[in-house]
């Protein structure tokens, strides 16, 4: 039963994302360009039949996450060609009389129901979520958040222990750590005064993290060896971690609220519908 519930949640998410971020998958410049295009604008003509901008949108929705495998600057061309291929094959099927078969009629009914489901959910999705709903979901997600220690450090990375001792000798004379890092460090943070920002256990190699944690704020270390070379580390600050701000996780929180609302909608609709599943399990 659980796997069916998970599959349904996945389906709901794909429907939500299909309509909500479809044009975003083209890339920012394409997304902006598409907003000014009318849905009935013709983008191709195949055998006297038109393909419109709206059909391009539907094709993108059907592709879902698979479109991510196509380079952003090639996605529109890929979808247009896909629609052209589909159109010529559909025309061939009609000429062969396949549009008049019972098999096609049954498939058409299924596809119509699927399209109506998507349209219905996307229409409901357009309703604004309240700040109270979003805040409640955010609070629920992070209610069991346990803070961890974060350290902020600078370092000077050099090739040898002897070079590290020379760095320490200059620091002992009172030179500014950031200036020494800019001058001596071979690491990518050297131009920034060796500043590594805040990090937690696991973000750095163990030798570096352990040496940083052992320092008092404002102090610098003896030479510390790691796989990258030799470090002289200065601890700038230590603090407990905090949950990400709402702004940082807003898209994920919004999606969680929407999925929950749609799951409730489906359950309510089923509760008021007469459902009889015949020969279940066969």
In this prediction, residue 2 carries a pLDDT of 41
Among all chains, which residue has been given the structure tokens 């409901």? Answer: 124
97 with 177, same domain: the answer is no
Tens of pLDDT, residue by residue over 111-155, are: 999 989 888 887 776 677 889 999 999 999 999 999 999 999 999
Which residue did the predictor score with more confidence, 3 or 245?
245
Mean pLDDT (whole number) for 6-11: 52
Report the alpha-carbon distance of residue 48 to residue 50 in Å, rounded. 7
Domain presence at residue 165: yes
pLDDT-above-90 percentage for the chain: 66
Contact, 166 vs 223, CB < 8 A? no
Kindly tell me if the per-residue pLDDT of 27 is higher than 60: no
Kindly tell me if the per-residue pLDDT of 170 is higher than 80: yes
In this prediction, residue 20 carries a pLDDT of 44
Domain presence at residue 215: yes
Give me 129's structure tokens.
Answer: 């979520």
Kindly tell me if the per-residue pLDDT of 175 is higher than 70: yes
89 with 161, same domain: the answer is no
Mean pLDDT of the chain: 87
Give me 56's structure tokens.
Answer: 């391009």
90 with 153, same domain: the answer is no
86 with 177, same domain: the answer is no
In order, the DSSP letters of the chain are -HHHHHHHHHHHHHHHHHHHSTGGGG-HHHHHHHTTS-TT-EEEEETTEEEEHHHHHHHHHHHGGGGGGS-GGGHHHHHHHHHHHHHHHHHHHHHTTGGGSHHHHHHHHHHHHHHHHHHHHHHHHTSPPPHHHHHHHHHHHTTT----EEEEEEEEEESSHHHHHHHHHHHHTT--HHHHHHHH--STTGGGTTEEEEE-TTTS-HHHHHHHHTSPTT-BPSPEEETTEEEEEEEEEEEE--PPPHHHHHHHHHHHHHHHHHHHHHHHHHHTS----TTTT-
Mean pLDDT (whole number) for 41-46: 94
Which residue did the predictor score with more confidence, 171 or 262?
171
229 with 154, same domain: the answer is yes
Domain presence at residue 207: yes
97 with 176, same domain: the answer is no
Provide CB contacts within 8 A for 103, sequence distance 6+: none
Provide CB contacts within 8 A for 74, sequence distance 6+: none
**Residue 145 class from Cβ within 10 Å (0-12 exposed, 13-18 middle, 19+ buried)?**
exposed
9 with 85, same domain: the answer is yes
Give me 133's structure tokens.
Answer: 């709903």
In this prediction, residue 4 carries a pLDDT of 44
91 with 172, same domain: the answer is no
Mean pLDDT (whole number) for 34-49: 84
Domain presence at residue 140: no
21 with 93, same domain: the answer is yes
Mean pLDDT (whole number) for 36-61: 90
Mean pLDDT (whole number) for 211-231: 97
CATH number at residue 170: 3.10.50.40
Kindly tell me if the per-residue pLDDT of 282 is higher than 60: no
Provide the domain count of the chain. 2
92 with 14, same domain: the answer is yes
Domain span at residue 20? Answer: 2-103
162 with 228, same domain: the answer is yes
179 with 86, same domain: the answer is no
Kindly tell me if the per-residue pLDDT of 5 is higher than 70: no
Question: Which has the closest alpha carbon to 15: 223, 232, 259, 210?
Answer: 259
CA atoms within 13 A on the CB side of 132: 0
Global pTM value: 0.56
């Amino acid at each position: 039963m659980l796997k069916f519930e998970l599959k349904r949640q996945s389906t709901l998410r794909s429907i939500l994302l299909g309509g909500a971020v479809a044009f975003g998958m083209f890339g920012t410049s394409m997304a902006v360009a598409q907003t000014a295009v009318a849905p009935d604008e013709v983008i191709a003509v195949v055998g006297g039949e038109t393909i419109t901008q709206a059909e391009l949108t539907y094709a993108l929705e059907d592709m879902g996450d698979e479109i991510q495998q196509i380079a952003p600057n090639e996605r529109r061309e890929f979808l247009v060609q896909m629609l052209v291929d589909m159109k010529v094959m559909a025309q061939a099927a009609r000429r062969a009389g396949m549009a008049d078969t019972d098999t096609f009629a049954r498939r058409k009914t299924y596809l119509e129901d699927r399209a109506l489901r998507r349209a219905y959910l996307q229409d409901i999705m357009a309703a604004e979520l309240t700040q109270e709903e979003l805040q409640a979901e955010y609070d629920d997600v992070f209610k069991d958040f346990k803070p961890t220690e974060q350290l902020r450090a600078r370092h000077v990375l050099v090739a040898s222990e002897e070079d590290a001792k020379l760095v320490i000798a200059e620091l002992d004379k009172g030179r500014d750590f950031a200036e020494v890092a800019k001058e001596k460090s071979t690491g990518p943070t050297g131009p920034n005064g060796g500043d590594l920002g805040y990090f937690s256990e696991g973000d750095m190699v163990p030798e570096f993290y352990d040496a940083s944690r052992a320092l008092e704020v404002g102090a610098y270390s003896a030479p510390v060896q790691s796989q990258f070379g030799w470090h002289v580390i200065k601890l700038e600050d230590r603090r407990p971690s905090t949950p990400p701000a709402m702004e940082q996780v807003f898209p994920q929180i919004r999606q969680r609220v929407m999925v929950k609302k749609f799951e409730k909608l489906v359950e309510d609709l089923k509760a008021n519908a007469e459902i009889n599943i015949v020969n279940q399990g066969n």
